[in-house]
Every structure is written in C-alpha cells, then in structure tokens.
C-alpha cells in the first residue's frame, strides 16, 4: 500500500515505476514457468507471458487510480490505496472462506478413533506416516482413547532410539519384546543378506532372529532363508482376541520373505522381531494392508484396521471380519462431520473419507455375499447418514497419480448397493458416476481436438474413465438385466473377444 502511494505521488520518478513493472512482470513470468517446469509446453509459456502482462496492467491501473484520487492530498491517496488493496483479501475471504474454515472439520480425530476402536484389546498398531500417526497420538494422549493400544510409527521404526523405546510401558500398553538387546540395536541401520541363494526348508522366525542376535561383535548379516514360520497356540490366540471362536486356526503361519533382497532395514527387522516374539499374546494390526514382508495373505480387515491372524481365508488378503466390523460401522464409527453439507473437504481429507466409505462398501458387499442383505442395507444406510454427497460426492475427478480412487471407490460402493438390493442408493450413485465420467470424456475430447499439449498428460485418465463406464455397463447387465449398449472403441484399443 505504501509503495503504491509512493509510486502514485512521485510523478517525476518514472524510473522507479518502470523498474517495478519490469522486474515484477519478469518475476511473475519466472514463477509461473518454474511452477510447472517438469511438464512445460507452449501453452504454459503463453500462460506465463499473459500472467506477466496482467501483473503489469493491474499494477499500472492501481498506480494511476491512486494518482487520480490523490491529486489533492497525500491522505486521499492513502485512503484510495488502502481501499484498493483491501479488495484482494476481501475477495479471497468471500470466495475461499468455506474452503479454509476448519471449525466444523473433525475428520482427523474421528478417523484416529475409528482406527483405534477397530483394534482388539491390547493391540499393537503399526502406522504409516504422519497423517496416520499424529491424530492417533492426539486421540490417545489428549482425549484418552484406547490407551491400551501401542502405536508404532514405521517411519520412525528405522531409528535405534525409537526401537529401544518400545521396551518400556506406555500408558496401559505393556513393554514390547524386540528380541535383540539395546546395545545390539543401537547404531544398527540395516543387515546385509548373507547369500542370494536361499536355504531350503521352513525356518522358525524367532529362531532366525535369535541366531542373528548371537553374531559377534555386532549384528552384521541376515541369513539366507526364504520361508519362515510362526507357531500358533490356538488357545492363546483365542484368549487374547487374535481370532474369533468360529475361526479355523492354523497350527503355524508360513510365509515367504521377499525375493532378491540385498538387505533388511531396521524397521523391517524390528517388525519381524515383534511378530516372532509376540507369540500371539497381543493382536497385531496395521493401518494399511502391508504385504511387503510376505505375510499379507494373513491380514484380515476389521473395521479400519488390518489384523494379522493365523487363519487362511478362501480369498487371501481381501477378507473382512463381518461380525465385529458390523458393530463398529453401525454404532461406533464417525466421519468428521461429513454429514454436514457446509463443511469443505480438500483432496487429502477426501482421500481419508474414501477409506471410510470403502470399508462400508466392503462390509456391505461381504454381508450380501453371506445372504445377510438387510444387514448390508443397514451398513449402507449408516454410511449415508455419516457422509452427505453434497459434502463428499459419490463421484469426482481425481488425478491418475492417485489412481482415480474417488471413482474407483464409487464403483465399489455402487456394486455394494446393487448386491444389497438397495436400489434407491444404486440409482443415485450410478447417476453421479455417469455424470462425472461423461463430463470427463467430453473434456478429454476437447483437449484432444484443441489442446494436444495438455491432452497427452491425461491419456491414462481418459482410459480410466472409459474403463469405469464399461464396468457400470457390466453392473447394469449383471444386476439390472440390461444389455450394455454398443460403444465405439477408443482409438488404438483392441476389440474384446465377442465370443465371451
């Protein structure tokens, strides 16, 4: 504001005005170019030039407006400059206040409670990254939610002091056995694999870890073993909430460690140690289905958590414990005021809300498969009461970087509604998906015909949209008895086998 007044009042100082316009425009141009340098093209060059010109014109207009208003006095010039510059924050507040208002947004603590309440008593919960962990810490330490659970952040698990902290009781969570001593862990970052050729046979995981612990003078290598086992005491597992009474419990967990690993990092080693030494005394859960160490087939979803269980499901890695999950979804779960259409959720918020909607869809689908359609409808009805489509739409364009997960989840939700026989919901979700996908394809067609430089960055998004429409056609044929319309194949696509 002061600078504008100065430029407006000092009429003779044309050089300062010229320099302001020149260097300001140049800075604007460079910022716009560098902000998207990785995907730069002629269209973005034109946009950067227009941005620089716009900066010069707006700055010049402000200076002359203040100069005109302030001919009589400095005070008038100051008032004019103040009014004009205040228009910017006023416009921003008017247009974006709802986007940035967090007073009614409670998703982070609600999601943390959903995760914690999904875990059995005295569980160990492995989390991935800050967006999971900080809300969990808040829920435990500030609101006192589920102090019996030990939260382990895998992003910190590769640091020796964090691993050694696990040896101490925290809140109501007892100490955790990590097999190796504090001195052995101190300074350890990774262990190199002894040999690329794995030994034949099945090796007890705890014995493997104890054998490593005997290395002197310090731990230095991981033995060349491929297949490991964790013995299971069914009575202990049932008593500690690891499995349910109706589960058919295995005598041991057997899984293959990853192929071709040159080394194991401390976080991976500690996770394997905890699984081996825990001996099913405490349930072990994860906030996402991590199968990188080979045990992914034994992860079963319960609410928002994925629990390691000594049970081999008929569909490994995709099973869900329907009884407990039903109670959680219908009586416990919350969704951060997503039922309020006035609350705005940005992309990161929507990513987490998709996780919640996905659980409701999976549970409803599983219940329908078990011929419990009324329960499936109840689950979906509860989901609808928690997440208003005006605050959190069924369908929405998302980047291919995020694998278009919004509409992928929408399709999962649509099929769950079909399978449950919830026809009203299925109609609404299908209409929203069709509208969004058709709008996307129209946009990609426009870019293909008029803005090729932009179009080539979105070819995979276009293919996703076409694929999603084909899935909806399949749903219509399967659940509504409709034959899908004949569609012109996209250029370059191969015709499907018409005999199927």
Tens digit of pLDDT per residue, the chain (500 long)? 566 655 555 554 567 777 777 888 899 989 888 887 777 677 778 888 998 898 888 877 777 676 666 555 666 666 766 776 777 788 877 777 776 777 788 999 999 999 999 999 999 999 987 778 999 999 999 999 999 999 999 999 999 999 999 999 999 999 999 999 999 999 999 999 987 777 889 999 999 999 999 999 999 999 989 999 999 999 999 999 999 888 899 999 999 999 888 999 999 999 999 999 999 999 999 999 988 999 999 999 999 999 999 998 766 556 899 999 999 999 999 999 999 998 889 888 999 999 999 999 999 999 999 999 999 999 999 999 999 999 999 999 876 566 789 999 999 999 999 999 999 999 999 999 999 999 999 999 999 999 888 888 889 899 999 999 999 999 999 999 876 554 443 343 333 333 33
pTM of the model: 0.81
Residue that has been written with the tokens 């041991």 in this structure: 252
Q: How far apart are CA 67 and CA 65, in angstroms?
A: 5
Residue that has been written with the tokens 């705005």 in this structure: 344
Q: How far apart are CA 425 and CA 107, in angstroms?
A: 24
Contacts of 95 (CB under 8 A, 6+ apart): none
Q: How far apart are CA 26 and CA 5, in angstroms?
A: 22
Residue that has been written with the tokens 């707006």 in this structure: 58
Q: Say if CB 354 and CB 126 are below 8 A apart.
A: no
Question: HSE-up of 387 (CA within 13 Å, CB side)?
Answer: 31
H or E element in which residue 225 lies:
strand 225-231
Q: Say if CB 157 and CB 266 are below 8 A apart.
A: yes
Q: Say if CB 24 and CB 56 are below 8 A apart.
A: yes
Residue that has been written with the tokens 């929405």 in this structure: 396
Angle, helices 423-450 vs 405-420, to 10°: value is 150
């Amino acid at each position: 504001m002061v600078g504008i007044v100065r430029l407006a009042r000092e009429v003779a100082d044309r050089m300062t005005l010229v320099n302001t316009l020149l260097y300001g425009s140049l800075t604007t141009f460079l910022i716009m170019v560098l902000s998207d340098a990785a995907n730069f093209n002629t269209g973005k060059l034109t946009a950067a030039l227009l941005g620089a010109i716009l900066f010069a014109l707006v700055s010049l207009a402000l200076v002359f407006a203040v100069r005109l208003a302030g001919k009589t006095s400095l005070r008038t010039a100051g008032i004019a400059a103040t009014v004009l510059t205040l228009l910017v924050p006023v416009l921003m507040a008017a247009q974006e206040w709802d986007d940035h208002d967090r007073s009614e947004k409670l998703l982070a603590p609600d999601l943390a409670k959903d995760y914690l309440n999904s875990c059995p008593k005295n569980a160990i919960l492995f989390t991935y990254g800050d967006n999971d962990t900080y809300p969990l810490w808040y829920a435990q330490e500030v609101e006192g939610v589920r102090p019996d659970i030990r939260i382990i952040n895998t992003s910190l698990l590769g640091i020796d002091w964090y691993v050694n902290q696990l040896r101490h009781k925290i809140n109501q969570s007892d100490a955790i056995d990590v097999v190796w001593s504090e001195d052995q862990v101190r300074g350890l970052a990774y262990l190199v694999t002894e040999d690329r050729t794995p030994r034949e046979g099945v090796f007890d995981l705890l014995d493997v870890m104890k054998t490593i612990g005997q290395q002197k003078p310090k731990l230095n290598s991981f033995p060349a073993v491929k297949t490991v086992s964790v013995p299971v005491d069914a009575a202990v597992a049932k008593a500690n909430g690891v499995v349910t009474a109706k589960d058919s419990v295995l005598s041991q967990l057997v899984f293959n460690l990853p192929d071709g690993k040159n080394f194991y990092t401390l976080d991976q080693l500690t996770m394997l140690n905890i699984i081996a030494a825990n001996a099913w005394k405490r349930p072990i859960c994860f906030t996402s289905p991590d199968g990188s160490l080979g045990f992914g087939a034994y992860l079963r979803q319960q609410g928002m958590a994925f629990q390691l269980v000594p049970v081999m499901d008929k569909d490994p890695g995709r099973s869900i414990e329907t009884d407990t999950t039903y109670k959680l979804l219908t009586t416990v779960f919350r969704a951060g005021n997503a039922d309020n259409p006035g609350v705005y959720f940005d992309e990161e918020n929507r990513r987490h809300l998709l996780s919640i909607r996905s659980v409701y869809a999976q549970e409803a689908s599983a219940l329908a498969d078990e011929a419990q359609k009324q329960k499936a409808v109840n689950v979906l009805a509860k989901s609808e009461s928690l997440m208003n489509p005006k605050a959190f739409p069924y369908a929405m364009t998302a980047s291919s970087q995020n694998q278009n997960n919004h509409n992928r989840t929408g399709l999962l939700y649509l099929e769950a509604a079909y399978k449950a026989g919830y026809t009203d919901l299925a109609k609404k979700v299908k209409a929203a998906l069709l509208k969004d996908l058709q709008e996307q394809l129209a946009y990609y067609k426009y870019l293909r015909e008029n803005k090729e430089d932009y179009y080539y960055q979105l070819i995979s998004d276009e293919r996703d949209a076409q694929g999603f429409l084909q899935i909806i056609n399949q749903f219509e044929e399967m659940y509504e008895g409709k034959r899908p319309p004949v569609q012109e194949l996209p250029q370059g696509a191969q015709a499907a086998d018409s005999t199927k």
